Amino acid sequence: MKRNEEKQLETLSPFEVKNTLMELANDSEKSMINAGRGNPNWIATEPRSAFFQLGLFALQESNTSFKKYDGFGGVGSEDNISGRFLRYCEDNEQAEGIAFLLNAYNYLTCQQGFNGDELIYEWVSGILGDNYPVPDRMLKYSELIARKYLEQEMCHDKELPSSPMDLFAVEGGTAAMVYIFNTLKSNRLLNPGDNIAIGAPIFTPYIEMPELEDYNLNKVEIMASESAAWQIPDSELEKLKDPSIKAFFLVNPSNPGSVKLSDETLYKIAAIAEERPDLIILTDDVYGTFADNFTSLAMIAPKNTILVYSYSKYFGATGWRLGVVGLSEDNNLDRMIADLPEDTRAQLTKRYSGISLEPANLKFIDRLVADSRAVALNHTAGLSTPQQIQMTMFSLASLLEQGKQYQKDAKEIVRNRYNTLMKESKKEPIVSGFNMDGAFYYAEIDVKDIVQSTYEASFFEWLETSYEPLDFIVRLASEYGIVVMPGAGFDAPTWSLRVSLANLEDEQYALISKAINEMFDEYHQEFIASSAN
C-alpha cells in the first residue's frame, strides 16, 4: 500500500481501518488471523442452559390456557406458579440447566427473601416476551438481581454506597453511550462548546462522539502514562479541578491498555468529585470482571458517577446486546437539573409533560428511558424482556457459588494468551504478571518503545521518516494475514498496535508474536541496506 493511501487510512476510525486490513489479510497467502475485534471466542453455557430450560417451562405454562385455537398459548397464572416450577424441575432433574435454576430459585427466595410466585411469573412472562417491559426502565426482579451482581463485581472489599443504584437495562454498552450523551444534551447538562475530559487512551467512540455535530463538545485529554503502567499522573488529574470541564468520561479497565485504575487513583478522582459536585463522571467498566480486586469509580464517587456495564465480553454474549446504566438514587445530576435556570426548567417540563404529572421531579435515569424513545414513545421503552431474563441468568451465574470458578477460568483464558503472545516478545510491556492491575483482555504493543530499546537509536529515526505508523499494521495484514488494530485510533502511542486476547486460539498468539518479530527484523534489514547506500 502506498504511503499516501496509509496516510488517508489513518484519518479513519480504527474499526473502519480494520475492514481494509481484513481485505488485505484475505488477499495474502496466509490464513487470516484476526486479532482486531474484542469478541470473545467462548460462551458461558450454564446460564444459557438455564435460559432455554426456563423457556420450555414457560411454554408449558402457556399451554395451560387459551386452548380454543391450535398453535396459541396464554399467559398463564401467577397463582402457585413457583410450585409448578419446582415440580417441573423435579420431573426434569437430569436435564442441563435445571440444577442451575433450582440453585438460583433457592438463593433468591431463601437468602434474598424474594417472593417465589412473583419471581417465577416475571421469568415466565419475561422469557415469553408476551408484554411490554413493565416497569419500562427494568423488570422488578431483573433489576434487583443485576444490582446485586454489580455490587459484588464492582465493589471489591469496600463498603457499598449508602444509596443503592437505579438501573436501566439497555441494548449493550454502545446503546448506553448514545442514550447518556443524548440525555445529557437534552437536559442542558452538556451544551455545544462545553469542555469535557476524556481519560485516554480510550475506546474510540468516546473520542469521536463528542466531536459530532450532534454534540459539538470540546475534548480535554486526561492522559494515562504508559511508563507508569497506564495510571493517570497527578498532573493530569489536576485538570479535573478546572470548573470549565463539565464531565469526565473513562473506560476502566482501559482499552487498549487493559489496566484498571489503582485504588489510589480512584480515591484522588473521588476527592475531586467531592470538591466539584457539578462534575459528571461516566465510567464504562465492561472489563472490570477480568481484573483482580476490581472497584468501580461508581462505588467510590456514587453521587457524581454514571456507570455503564455490558455483559457482552465476560459471558461471551456480544450478540445478545445486554447492558445496564447505573446511577445512585442519591445523585448530583438530579440536583443539577433542579438548579437549572428557570426558563430551561420550563422547557424541560414541557418536554416531559406527556409522561409525568410532575415532570420537574422526573429523575435523570427515567429521563434516559424516555429519551431513548424520543419521549413520545416512552410507553414502548425498555429492553426486550427475554433479553432481561438472559441478563438475569448471567448475573446469577456469578452470584451463585460456581461463579467463582467461572471467573477464575475466564481470567486464566486471557492471561494464558497474554503469556503466549509475550513469551517471544522482544520486550514485554511494563504491565506484566498476574499480581498487577491488568485485565489482560487486550495487549497494547508499543512499536516505538520496542525499537528504541532493542535496536540502535538511529533505526527509529529512519523508520519514522520512511514510513507512516500504519505501515507496520498494513504489512502484518498483507504479508502475514494478521489483523490488529492501530493504537493511535484509541489515543494510544502513535506507533502502537492493539491485539485482542479474547477471540483466537492460544497457539495463534505465538504466530502473531513471531510475525511481529519478523516484521521488526524486516524493517531493520531495510534500514541497514539504506544506511549502506
Residue-wise DSSP of 374-431: TTTTGGG-S--HHHHHHHHHHHHHHHSTTHHHHHHHHHHHHHHHHHHHHHT-SS--SS
pLDDT of residue 493: 92
Residue with the larger pLDDT of the pair 192 and 13: 192
d(CA 158, CA 175): 30
Identify the band that residue 532 occupies on the pLDDT scale cut at 50, 70 and 90.
Answer: confident
Give per-residue pLDDT as tens, 108-147. 999 999 999 999 999 999 999 999 999 999 999 999 999 9
Q: How confident is the model at residue 429 (pLDDT cuts 50, 70, 90)?
A: low
- Which residue, 517, 408, 507, 492, is CA-closest to 442? 492
**305: three-class secondary structure by DSSP:** strand
pTM of the full structure: 0.95
Whether the pLDDT of residue 435 is over 80: the answer is: no
Q: Tell me if 497 sits within 8 A of 407, measured CB to CB.
A: no
Judge whether 305 and 248 are in contact, CB under 8 Å.
no
Q: Is residue 468 over pLDDT 80?
A: yes
pLDDT of res. 432: 43
For the stretch 160-186, pLDDT in tens is 999 999 999 999 999 999 999 999 999
**So what's the pLDDT on residue 159?**
93
Domains of the chain, start order:
3-38+411-532 (3.90.1150.10), 45-131 (1.10.20.110), 159-396 (3.40.640.10)
Residue of 268, 266, 312 whose CA lies nearest to 289: 312
* Over residues 441-470, mean pLDDT: 94
CA distance 60 to 218: 56
Q: Evaluate if residue 46 carries a pLDDT over 80.
A: yes
Where does the pLDDT of residue 1 fall: very low under 50, low under 70, confident under 90, or very high at 90 and above?
Answer: confident
Average the pLDDT over 454-470 and give the result.
94
Residues 336/205, Cβ–Cβ less than 8 Å: no
Averaged pLDDT of the chain? 94
Q: What number of helices (H) and strands (E) belong to the chain?
A: 21, 12
What are the tens digits of pLDDT across the range 265-275?
999 999 999 99
- Determine what percent of the chain is predicted with pLDDT higher than 70: 98
pLDDT of residue 428: 66
pLDDT-wise least confident of 62-66, 78-82, 131-135, 238-242: 62-66
